[in-house]
């Protein structure tokens, strides 16, 4: 069974929300805490706040050379010094999804250097991508980042570089949720 991950925004959870910024599209209700759970089935929506769900799927664009580079450089989630995090839910436009695979790959990596940009920030900025579109979720992707407080400005750089790419012209909804470990 796939692991469905649920990011539940509300008034409890292991992560404290330090800032929420609506980058593109409709607002996501402001919350103060984030609770993360994994399950084999999709839990019901909470009565208050929100719950965004996704799952780890196979790679959609990365070629073997990129996979090797990523594996050599990246570190996992849960590092003790990584007390800062960000959750960035994104929805892309129908125009993106109507593109053929070679067209999406050309925009994603050949011209926007998505993987290459992320590599520049490894191992400092750890990340995990969760796919949500085929679950009928309001966002297509949920990306979770973890880093030490001293790398927060590097993380800002990473976001600025990605948002300046051709790929980002296809982003029609994006929310930036910045967090710190509550404990």
Binder to a second copy among 37, 45, 57, 72 (CB under 8 A)? 57
| Contact (CB, 8 A) for 178 and 13 | no
Binder to a second copy among 2, 26, 30, 149 (CB under 8 A)? 2
Helix (H, G, I), strand (E, B) or coil at 123: coil
Between CA 4 and CA 179, with CA 80 as vertex, the angle to 5 degrees is 60
Binder to a second copy among 11, 29, 63, 75 (CB under 8 A)? 63
Helix (H, G, I), strand (E, B) or coil at 24: strand
Q: Please, how many CA atoms are within 13 Å of residue 92, restricted to the half-sphere of its CB?
A: 21
Q: Is 44 in the site for a second copy (CB under 8 A)?
A: no
Binder to a second copy among 64, 78, 80, 160 (CB under 8 A)? 64
H-type alpha helices, 56-141: 64-73, 94-97, 101-105, 114-119
Please state, in angstroms and rounded to a whole number, the distance separating the CA atoms of residues 183 and 172: 34
Binder to a second copy among 59, 77, 116, 164 (CB under 8 A)? 59
Q: Is 48 in the site for a second copy (CB under 8 A)?
A: no
Nearest-approach distance from CB 140 to a second copy, in angstroms:
10
Window 91-130: residues binding a second copy (CB under 8 A): 97, 100-103, 105
Q: Is 172 in the site for a second copy (CB under 8 A)?
A: no
Contacts of 123 (CB under 8 A, 6+ apart): 73, 74, 75
Q: Residues in the site for a second copy, rule: CB under 8 A?
A: 1-2, 40-41, 55, 57-64, 66-67, 97, 100-103, 105, 131, 133-136
């Amino acid at each position: 069974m796939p692991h469905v991950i649920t990011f539940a925004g509300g008034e409890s959870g292991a992560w404290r929300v330090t800032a929420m910024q609506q980058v593109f599209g409709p607002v996501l209700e402001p919350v103060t805490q984030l609770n993360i759970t994994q399950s084999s089935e999709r839990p019901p929506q909470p009565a208050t706040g929100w719950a965004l769900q996704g799952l780890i799927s196979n790679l959609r664009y990365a070629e073997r050379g990129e996979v090797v580079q990523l594996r050599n450089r990246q570190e996992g989630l849960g590092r003790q010094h990584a007390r800062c995090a960000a959750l960035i839910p994104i929805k892309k436009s129908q125009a993106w999804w109507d593109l053929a695979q070679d067209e999406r790959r050309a925009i994603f990596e050949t011209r926007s250097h998505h993987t290459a940009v992320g590599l520049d920030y490894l191992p400092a900025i750890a990340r995990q991508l969760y796919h949500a579109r085929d679950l009928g979720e309001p966002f297509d992707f949920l990306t979770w980042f973890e880093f030490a407080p001293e790398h927060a400005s590097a993380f800002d750089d990473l976001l600025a570089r990605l948002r300046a790419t051709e790929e980002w012209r296809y982003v029609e909804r994006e929310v930036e949720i910045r967090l710190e470990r509550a404990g």
